[in-house]
Structure 1
C-alpha cells in the first residue's frame, strides 16, 4: 500500500481528501447582502462569523467554523463608517491567518481610499497607499475589487489585485431601459472618466462626449465647456461613484443647457452621502443607477422619489472568486 492509498485505511472519501482548499466566504458588517448574494451564486453557504464592539469602541472578530487550509474570501466594502470597516477587515484577515487559512483574499467591492491616490497638496498622506500597506501587513494574500477611482492604485499593492469592471452591467442596463441607446451619447463628467465612458460608448455603439473642467482651487473644480454634441439626444452620464452628487448636478446642468433630451446616470458605487439623495430627487434626470458594491438602503431609494436603481454585480464577483480559486483567468470574464 502506498502513502497515497492511506486514506482507505481511515475510511475517508477520496473526494474529501482531494478537496484540500474549499472556498470559504465570510462577510464584514458593511455589505452582508452582497456577500450573501455572492454565496448564492457560488452555491455555498455564507461563512459564520461575528463582530462585537466593546464599550470603548474596540472591535473583536470571531470565526465560528474551521478555516484550516481553506481558500478564504472576506467581503467588506469601505462604506460608512469607513474606519470601522477597514479595522474590521484587518482583524478578520489577521484572525483568518491565525486560524491557519491556506490563502486569504480581501474582497473589497468599494475601495473608498482609492480617491487619495496622489499628493495634490502639501503635507498630506497618500491614504490609498497607506491602507493598501495596512491590509498587506494584516496578512491579505491578494485583493479583489471593482472600479478603482484611478488605475494607478493597483501599484499601491505588493500582492496580486484583480480589478473588476461594472461596464458590462451598466451597458446592459442602459440597453434594457433605452431601446435606441445606440442613438444616444455617453458623457464623461471629466477627463479622468473618458476611458470608462469610451468603453461603455463602444458597448452601446453610441456617441461620446466630455465635460472640460477647470480647477479653481485645491478643493473647487468648475465645468468650462462640453466637448461633443448632445443636442436633442439621450445622454448617459457615467462615472465611478456618486458621493454628495455635487459634481453630478454640474454635469447634468451643462448637458441640459446644451440641449440634452433625456439624461440617465450610471455609476459603479452609489455612496450617496450628505445631501446626495435630496439633490438626486430634485435633479432633472430620468434615472440614477448604481451597483450594489455599496449597500443602498430602502429608505434612500424611497426618498429619491423612484429615481434610484440598484444593479446586481454579485454574479461577477462570484465568477471571479471561482476563477481565482481554480487558478483560471479573471480578465477573460470581461472580454
Structure 2
C-alpha cells in the first residue's frame, strides 16, 4: 500500500508562513536542521523518518535570492536521498521569473534554468503562486500547480466596495490581470503607459481610460523598488483620481521602495505574506495566503482537484 504520510518542511526564507500553513491544516511542521557553515555553505539535515512519505518543502526565493534557492535545492536532495516517495517544492514566490525569455542578445533564460535545477535536485512536483508569466509552468518537466492570490485579495476588497472603482494596470504587460480584476469587481479598466529609464526608475507618460473622481486599484504581480506603482500613482493623482490603492501579490521591498512609499502617493498597498514584509508604519496591509496554500497541499496529498481554489467567494 502506498504511504501517503504528509510531511511539511521549511527552509529559512519564510518560516512564519510555513508555520501558519501547518497550523491551518493541522499538520506539524517537520523537524529539520537548516543552517550554514562558517564559509556560507548551506547545511541541511532532516531529523525524522520520511521514507515513502509525501514531502512538501516550503521556500520562497526572496532575498538573499541565491542563498534561498540553493537551500531549497539542498533540502530537495536531502529528501530524495532519504527515500521520500514524492517531493513537492512549494515556492510561494518564484524568483528569476522575469528572466523568462531572450529579450536581448546573449542573455540567459534563467526561469527555465531554475526549473531545470529543481527537477534535477529531485522535485517531482511544484506548487507556486502568481508567476510573473504563465508560460513558466511549461519550463518544468514535472507537474506544476499554479495558484492565484486574487481570491484572497477579492475577499479583502469586498469590504471596500466602491461605486466608481477603476482597475488600472501600471504597464501594458499587466493588462490581462487588470481585466480579470475588473471583471470580478464589476469595475472599469485603465492603463498607465510607462517608459523604463533604468532598472530602478520608470516614468509614467500617459493614461488610457477615465480616472477623474474615481477610486483606483492598481494591480501587479511583483514590486521591488515600487518605482512602477508610485510613478503610476503620481500620474493618476494628476488626472484627478480620488483614492489610489495597489494590490501586489509579491512585495520584495528594498530601501528604495520604502522611501518611495513613504512619500504618501498610495492610500494603501495590499500584498500577501508570500515573502516576509515589514510595514514600517506605512499603509501596507498584508493578507495571508497560508490557508490557500495549505488547502492546496492537502488536496495534492489526497489526489484531489485544486480547481475550486480559484473560485471567488462573495462576488
TM over 0.5: yes
2:191 to 193, 210, 217: 210
Supply the distance in 1 between the matched residues of 2:146 and 2:216 (Cα, whole angstroms): 27
Unaligned stretches of 5+ in structure 2? none
Report the equivalent of 1:324. Answer: 300
**TM-score, normalised relative to structure 1:** 0.89
Q: Distance in 2 between the 1:272 and 1:217 partners? A: 17
Question: Higher helix fraction: Structure 1 or Structure 2?
Answer: 1
Alignment check: 8 A CA contact 2:53 2:85 kept: yes
Report the equivalent of 1:25: 8
Give a deviation string over 1:192-238, Cα, whole Å, max 9, x none: 11111111112211111111234668987543321111100000011
Name the residue aligned to 1:9. Answer: none
- Higher gyration radius (CA): 1
Structure 1 residue aligned with 2:157: 174
Aligned mates of 1:166, 1:133 — CA distance in 2: 25
- Whole-angstrom CA distance in 2 between matches of 1:91 and 1:43: 26
By how many angstroms is 1:179 displaced?
Answer: 3.4
Structure 2 match to 1:121: 104
Distance 1:243 1:52 in 2: 27
Match for residue 252 of structure 1 among 229, 233, 238: 233
- Cα 1:229/1:325, change in 2 over 3 Å: same
Post-superposition shift, 1:188? 0.6
Residues 262-273 of structure 1: pairs in structure 2 closer than 5 A: 262-273=243-254
Match of 2:283 among 274, 292, 307: 307
TM-score (norm 2): 0.94
Q: Deviations over 1:283-313 (max 9, x none)?
A: 322111110000113xxx12xx331110001
Q: Is the 8 A contact 1:209 1:226 kept in 2?
A: yes
> Is contact 2:21-2:294 (8 Å) kept?
yes
Say if 1:121 and 1:218, in contact at 8 Å, map to a contact too: no
Q: Is the 8 A contact 2:129 2:146 kept in 1?
A: yes
Alignment of 1:288 with 2:264, yes or no, is no
2:37 aligned residue:
54
Verify the 8 A CA contact 1:249 1:283 in the aligned structure 2: no
Unpaired runs of at least 5, structure 1: 1-17
Query: Paired residue for 1:241?
Result: 222
Q: Is the 8 A contact 2:245 2:268 kept in 1?
A: yes
1 CA distance for matches of 2:40 and 2:140? Answer: 29
CA distance in structure 2 between the partners assigned to 1:179 and 1:275 by the alignment = 31
C-alpha distance in structure 2 between counterparts of 1:113 and 1:19, whole Å: 35
1:68 to 51, 55, 72: 51
The number of aligned residues is 311
RMSD: 1.6
Q: Work out which structure has the larger RCO, using CA pairs closer than 8 Å and 6 or more positions apart in sequence.
A: 2
- Structure 1 distance, partners of 2:195, 2:228, is 13
SS class of match (1:115)? coil
Query: CA separation in 1, counterparts of 2:256 and 2:195?
Result: 24
2:200 and 2:69 map into 1 onto residues whose CA distance is 25
